[in-house]
Structure 1
């Protein structure tokens, strides 16, 4: 057990050559004593295990997880109950993502059940609308007070917008692979239709949001063809796969030279963070399998690319028509 624990700690440090010195410093013991613990010649005490767990930011639950292939532990993202909680979530997400921009080989794989949020986090009505939808799901006061989107944008804090735009910008400097299908856009369109029909979204703003969604689709098409993220300082790579078989899940995998981590949805935009490496390997293998049976859009023929994106534009146009004429019967299929 101790040997497995020590190996786990080594995977959490970037400089294995000074690992013994780091252990000695954390435990306030000599180099030789640290070396004996690393090589399991001396057993770690409970107090020493706790000190190491704190230093390497490992929960005591994760100590139990080490070596147990049938038990994994997940970290839960910060709870969101109001605007303040959403801003904290955006800032913590930025702090998690930013270090990846400094690792040239870091990459993200995104199983896109919905349009990935970082495509929408820019200065647009769509960005503000996404935040409105998230908050309507978690803030009971907004539901009780029947806050409309038109009212919401009049009082949205500037600090919240800055946090959102900053997070959207930092994603441009990371290599990203996305897996979409023909329904990926449907959730965003359904949200617009729902709040328009409920009277919480005016016709004028609903149509502007439709324009913003079309702008996102057009930009994604451009990035998919050129295989790079527009506006990236790091010349980050962008690959878009189209999968006609599986339903996507909004699961995100982060891959670095040191480890793999994936984030899977919990509620709204809350997520579970999984660092258990055998489980991460299984998820990575699943993503690789999905990509192997998907079309990399840059390699697809012009006809296939045009059909895929035109189908999304047609859905947006049907939503526009629905908003303008206000008929009852409508769907995206």
Structure 2
């Protein structure tokens, strides 16, 4: 229990702003002295059930216990209806999580994906709105045409902020060989089904090209901004099993697994995250590097992606 309690307070410390004193915060929530709060943080004084509930509710950090003989993993799940109006809630939650990572003194995100990581296309309004529209049930259950101007301006603002925050977080991205293909097919389907007209389809394709050009520039310099700490490592792997985001910040690990197109399951279970980290490292060993000196393979990948864009442009025209 003592070890669990100490680890719990380590998670609480990560959840509060750096300037906020942990012991003082605990004392205020539990209505105890700061001295008693320090004892509980060190594990010298045990929390009771009511105190655990109070702390979990206040800080939004669950106290997780599992018997050693049961290899279970607990996940957090953001339940968002797949409707465009509720995309704002999804983006706000994403913004909160990414901002917390950005504030950490040490951080890194590793991604395995068969779709362009969403943070990249958040730079481009029409492309952002198109992806959110396509991910929603609207693209399947309505005859309404896609209209970027119908999206709340706050969605565009938060999306751009997410892109800017992501650029300042060191990352490693491992892409499947057909990562760009999915977005191209979504645009083709939307055009053929009548959800987007010719001009809008061509604009969205153009923004996909801009997005890929950005990523190519990041890879050439192995960084996403002029700051050398904002590193970018890009790999291509033919063998990918899932879309996963592994966040390493201040010595803690968190894993986000994508499902149902855009939703995700989050866990900070140490064993699960360590296994995911080892799996990602093994993928990198099987991958081709696109960053820095990987010019030959990177240029081939970008050329093929641009060729797909050009072919769709010809079809549309």
Same fold (TM over 0.5): yes
How many Å separate the matches in 1 of 2:171 and 2:80? 26
How many Å separate the matches in 2 of 1:128 and 1:253? 26
Shift of 1:262: 1.1
- Is the contact made by 1:79 and 1:85 (CA closer than 8 Å) also made in structure 2? yes
How many Å separate the matches in 1 of 2:104 and 2:149? 39
How many Å separate the matches in 1 of 2:59 and 2:293? 45
Q: Secondary structure at the match of 1:298?
A: coil
Of 162, 168, 172, which residue of structure 2 is paired with 1:177?
A: 172
What is the TM-score when the length of structure 1 is the normalising length? 0.83
- The one-character-per-residue Cα deviations of 1:228-261 (angstroms, maximum 9, x if unpaired) are 114x6785111101113x1252211111123110
Tell me the equivalent position of 1:210: 205
Residue 143 (structure 2) pairs with residue 146 (structure 1) = yes
Cα distance change of structure 1 residues 130 and 122 upon mapping to structure 2, 3 Å threshold:
same
How many Å separate the matches in 1 of 2:82 and 2:221? 40
- Alignment map for 1:37-56 (pairs within 5 Å): 43-56=46-59
Tell me the equivalent position of 2:266: 273
- The one-character-per-residue Cα deviations of 1:190-227 (angstroms, maximum 9, x if unpaired) are 10111112121222222222211111112211111111
Tell me the equivalent position of 1:328: none
Residue 126 (structure 2) pairs with residue 125 (structure 1) = yes
Of 145, 151, 159, which residue of structure 2 is paired with 1:156?
A: 151
Q: Secondary structure at the match of 2:80?
A: coil
How many Å separate the matches in 1 of 2:311 and 2:262? 28
What is the TM-score when the length of structure 2 is the normalising length? 0.87
- Is the contact made by 1:3 and 1:39 (CA closer than 8 Å) also made in structure 2? no
Cα distance change of structure 1 residues 101 and 321 upon mapping to structure 2, 3 Å threshold:
same
Task: Select the structure of larger CA radius of gyration.
Answer: 1
Of 319, 322, 326, which residue of structure 1 is paired with 2:315?
A: 322
How many Å separate the matches in 2 of 1:97 and 1:178? 16
Cα distance change of structure 1 residues 199 and 40 upon mapping to structure 2, 3 Å threshold:
closer
Tell me the equivalent position of 1:86: 87
Q: Secondary structure at the match of 2:184?
A: helix
Which stretches in structure 1 are left out of the alignment for 5+ residues?
A: 325-333
Cα distance change of structure 1 residues 51 and 322 upon mapping to structure 2, 3 Å threshold:
same
Residue 6 (structure 2) pairs with residue 3 (structure 1) = no
Shift of 1:111: 0.9
How many Å separate the matches in 2 of 1:33 and 1:125? 54
Cα distance change of structure 1 residues 123 and 213 upon mapping to structure 2, 3 Å threshold:
closer
Tell me the equivalent position of 2:73: 72
Shift of 1:185: 0.6
Cα distance change of structure 1 residues 31 and 247 upon mapping to structure 2, 3 Å threshold:
closer
Let me know the Cα RMSD of the aligned residues: 2.7
How many Å separate the matches in 2 of 1:40 and 1:219? 49
